[in-house]
Structure 1
Amino acid sequence: MSATALTNQTFNDQIQSGITLVDFWAPWCGPCRIQLPIIHQLADELKGKATIATINVDEQTELATRFGIRSIPALLLFQDGKLMDTMIGVNQKDVLEAKILKLMN
């Protein structure tokens, strides 16, 4: 299992309910390659509790523009469709997990 890849078509439905962490990334981005395994590990560990998703900014330029993504990796944390937190750069698993668990409580 790994993170869910979102598109412009699936994005709104995915973030509408529950907690969703979205990683904006690109294949050519070095820090993104460091962040991605952490994202996939979180997706496995939080399956059924939170959705962990990715958006390739090269393929989904509309979503990157919509959220003003200028630096990647950019991690956006949503709860029931509302943007709760934005993190730029590589984030460690325990930091991301703590933010997600805090929203669950």
Structure 2
Amino acid sequence: MLLLYFILALIVFVLVMNFSVVLRARFKKGKSVRDIGGEIGEAIKRGEKVMLYFYSPTCSACRVQTPIIDSLINLSNGRTRIFKVDVSSDPNTALKFGVMGTPSIVIVENGKIKEFFVGVKSENILRRYI
């Protein structure tokens, strides 16, 4: 019986943590993006539409998402700047955007976060933003 309570508590904990990550992502919408360096920061300062794909090489869900992002890069024809950000080699950018898990996709328009996705998203959903 104690094992059952432990398993239930563990399931509830995982669900609460997942909900927390998604909820935090929603609160980022509409916030201004500041203090981002490099090519990403320059594109945002110029007011370009930017899609940031945060991934990790060890993330199994990212292995599903990456080919979709690669396809979007080919489809965007420069309308949207799409950046792939490896959180293991560029944790500061991930931190500045508040990325708490991978894969995450952030859409920035006119210097503000328009959308913040956590988890794998289909090409059809993401096409709306390129």
Please name the residue that 1:14 is paired with.
Answer: 43
Query: Aligned pair 1:67/2:103, yes or no?
Result: no
Greater helix proportion: 2
Whether 1:96 and 2:126 are equivalent positions in the alignment is: yes
* Alpha-carbon separation, structure 2, partners of 1:35 and 1:58: 17
Q: CA deviation at 1:9?
A: 2.3
1:50 Cα deviation (Å)? 1.1
Residue pairs, 1:14-93, within 5 angstroms: 14-16=43-45, 17-93=47-123
Amino acid at match of 2:51: L
Write 1 or 2 for the structure with the bigger share of strand.
1
Q: Sequence identity, in percent?
A: 24
* Residue 62 (structure 1) shift: 0.7
Structure 2 CA distance for aligned equivalents of residues 94 and 26 of structure 1: 23
Unpaired stretches in structure 2, ≥5 consecutive residues: 1-35
User: Once the 2 structures are TM-superposed, how far is the Cα of residue 95 of structure 1 from its aligned partner?
Assistant: 0.2
**RMSD between aligned alpha carbons?**
1.6
How far the C-alpha of 1:8 sits from its partner, in A, is: 4.5
C-alpha displacement at 1:46, in angstroms? Answer: 0.8
Tell me the matched-pair count.
94
**SS at 1:13's partner residue?**
helix
Answer with 1 or 2: which has the greater Rg: 2
Equivalent position amino acid for 1:90 in 2: V
Q: Normalised by the size of structure 1, how large is the TM-score? A: 0.82
Unaligned runs of 5+ in 1: 1-6
Between the aligned partners of 2:97 and 2:48, the Cα distance in structure 1 is 19
* Secondary structure, counterpart of 2:101 in structure 1: coil
